[in-house]
Structure 1
Amino acid sequence: MKKNKLGRSELLVSEIGFGCMSIGTEENKAIRLLHEALDLGINLLDTADLYDAGRNEELVGKAIRSRRSEVVLATKVGNRRVPGQEGWAWDASKGYILSAVKDSLRRLGTDYIDLYQLHGGTLDDPIEETIEAFEQLKREGVIRYYGISSIRPNVVREYVSRSNIASVMSQYSILDRRPEEGILPLLEANGIGLIARGPVASGMLAEECEGKLAKGYLGYTETELRDFRSGIKKAADRPLTETALRYPLANPAVACVLAGASTSEQLSANAASASRSPLSSAELADIRSAVPANVYAQHR
């Protein structure tokens, strides 16, 4: 599988990454899926301390224990469980990040994280303090690089201008082309790689999606989504999921497309898309004609 540099970092990541949130909590199945991913050439494994209250990190750690050198390990921080309260609280403070990384390292069974990402972010955060935490962890060798996972362009711009982030993880698909408005050009100009998540748009661009379209997506109605799917299929004579996975990779700022999988068949199909030819200029033009570009309404 082709590997791309993640921005200006030294990390080489597979074009298709594995969003580990989809592996479930059954240990044998989860470990088998993760080993299959590595065998298929997928080396970016993305997890978070938030997923299954840390269980996801534990499963990823068990799976990679004997294969750590093959993995670009990415996890996230910022969501804090408060004793006595339901759910999670947001905490981007330096103290919390320096504490939380120790728990992630323990669960992952490793002494370093390749890519440590802020799992969200707002303009009300102590941004300089947050950056200081990541920079300190980098100096100490606890993390190799850091990034931010955010769909808020105003937050992304702050970190681009004030920090040394290697990457931005953001939702990007044929049905959500908002990053094209300004974020992707900004990242490309600054040597920062985009990790595109949600390429199949919550299943709206999966081969089988009956039952999902009625829920709508980003304000699009079921009728609009059906029309879009038809237009995409006419624009590119490929399996729909393959088109969906390859679309973000057409942008030079995108280093990796993050796809989830809960079965071996899904995982193999995701990996196979990396062996196909890139979308042609004609295919891209026809896809963009079939699906209008949406723009950010908030957090501009």
Structure 2
Amino acid sequence: MKKNLLGKSDLLVSELALGCMSLGKDKQAAQTIIETALEEGINYFDTADLYDFGLNETIVGAALKPVRERVIIATKVGNRWEEGKEGWSWNPSKTYIKEAVKHSLTRLQTDYIDLYQLHGGTMDDPIEEIIEAFEDLKKEGLVRAYGISSIRPNVIREFATRSSIDSVMMQYSPLDRRPEEQVLPLLQEHNISIVARGPLAKGLLSTSWREKIGKFQERGFLDYSSAELTDLLNELEHKLSDARTLNALSLRYLLQHEGVAAVVAGASSVSQLKENVRAVKEAPLSEEELQLIQQLTKANQYVQHR
């Protein structure tokens, strides 16, 4: 599988990353999915200390320990579980980040984290303090690179211009083209990579979209009504060549953009994982396919956090 450099770092990440949140709590099932991902050429695994109260990091760390030097492990920090674990609060302080990284390292059974990410962020956060925390961790050798996970253009702008982040993880798909308006050009200018999460738009851009569409009957998806979604997906499918899947149309569309280093897709089964691998390995989109997507879908724009 093709690998791309992440920002200005020396991290070479596979175009398809395994989003580990959907692995579940069954260690053996998760192990099988992770081993299959490795066999398919995936070297980039994304987790967070929030997922399953840290159990996700534990499962991922145990599965990847035998191949630690061959993989890129990304995790996130900032959300702190409350006592009793009935909810969590946001804590982006330097003290908390430097405390939390130790717990993640222990759960992941590793001496360093390849990519450490702020799991959110607002304009009210102590941004200079956050940057100092991540820079300290880099100097101490506990993290190799750092980034943020955010869909807020104003927050992304602050980190892009004030820090040495190598990546921004954000929601991006042909049904959510908001990053194209402001964020993509800004990050490319600063040589910061985009890691696209939600590339299949909650399953709407997959071969099983007809099974998923019912969940969007009342609220639609972003600025698409349910009726618009049905018409759009039918038209996209109708105009696709027989050899191109809807999954591939979406994943290849994102990877067509030079600023996108990887797409993060979750998988709760081996078959789901293999479907995404097949999609990523399909040929790049033709100019005709690229134009088709851009003509049929909306050039959404951010309304808030500009």
Taking the aligned partners of 1:233 and 1:276, their CA distance within structure 2 comes to 16
SS of the aligned residue for 1:120 comes to: coil
1:37 is matched with 37
Structure 2 unmatched runs, 5+: none
Taking the aligned partners of 1:103 and 1:42, their CA distance within structure 2 comes to 25
Number of matched pairs: 300
Taking the aligned partners of 2:168 and 2:119, their CA distance within structure 1 comes to 10
Change in Cα spacing, 1:84 to 1:39, as seen in structure 2 (3 Å) is closer
2:162 is matched with 162
1:242 pairs with one of 248, 258, 274:
248
Equivalent runs, 1:87-102 vs 2, <5 Å: 87-102=87-102
1:268 pairs with one of 270, 274, 279:
274
State the 1:47 CA deviation: 0.1
1:138 is matched with 138
State the 1:118 CA deviation: 0.2
Taking the aligned partners of 2:262 and 2:95, their CA distance within structure 1 comes to 31
State the 1:84 CA deviation: 5.2
1:198 is matched with 198
2:259 is matched with 253
- Name the amino acid aligned to 1:243: L
1:227 pairs with one of 207, 226, 231:
231
Alpha carbons 2:245, 2:279 under 8 Å: kept:
no
**Any idea what the Cα deviations from partners look like across 1:241-271, whole Å, max 9, x if unmatched?**
1111111101110000111111111111111
Alpha carbons 1:228, 1:290 under 8 Å: kept:
yes
**Any idea what the Cα deviations from partners look like across 1:109-144, whole Å, max 9, x if unmatched?**
001000000000000000000000000000000000
SS of the aligned residue for 2:284 comes to: coil
- Name the amino acid aligned to 1:206: S
1:297 pairs with one of 261, 282, 303:
303
- Greater mean deviation of Cα atoms: 49-58 or 77-86: 77-86
State the 1:43 CA deviation: 0.7
State the 1:210 CA deviation: 3.1
TM-score by length of 2: 0.96
- Name the amino acid aligned to 1:241: N
Change in Cα spacing, 1:124 to 1:252, as seen in structure 2 (3 Å) is same
State the 1:230 CA deviation: 2.1
> Identity of aligned pairs, percent?
55
Taking the aligned partners of 2:116 and 2:77, their CA distance within structure 1 comes to 7
Are 1:70 and 2:70 matched, yes or no? yes
**Any idea what the Cα deviations from partners look like across 1:150-188, whole Å, max 9, x if unmatched?**
000000000001100000000000000000001001111
- Name the amino acid aligned to 1:82: E
Structure 1 unmatched runs, 5+: none
- Name the amino acid aligned to 1:283: E
2:52 is matched with 52
Alpha carbons 1:231, 1:287 under 8 Å: kept:
no
SS of the aligned residue for 1:97 comes to: helix
**Any idea what the Cα deviations from partners look like across 1:41-75, whole Å, max 9, x if unmatched?**
01110000000110100000110010101210000
Taking the aligned partners of 1:244 and 1:62, their CA distance within structure 2 comes to 32
TM-score by length of 1: 0.98
**Any idea what the Cα deviations from partners look like across 1:1-27, whole Å, max 9, x if unmatched?**
000111221111111110000111001
Taking the aligned partners of 2:110 and 2:17, their CA distance within structure 1 comes to 20
1:124 is matched with 124
Taking the aligned partners of 2:96 and 2:181, their CA distance within structure 1 comes to 33
- Name the amino acid aligned to 1:105: L
Equivalent runs, 1:5-16 vs 2, <5 Å: 5-16=5-16
Taking the aligned partners of 1:234 and 1:296, their CA distance within structure 2 comes to 30
- Name the amino acid aligned to 2:36: E
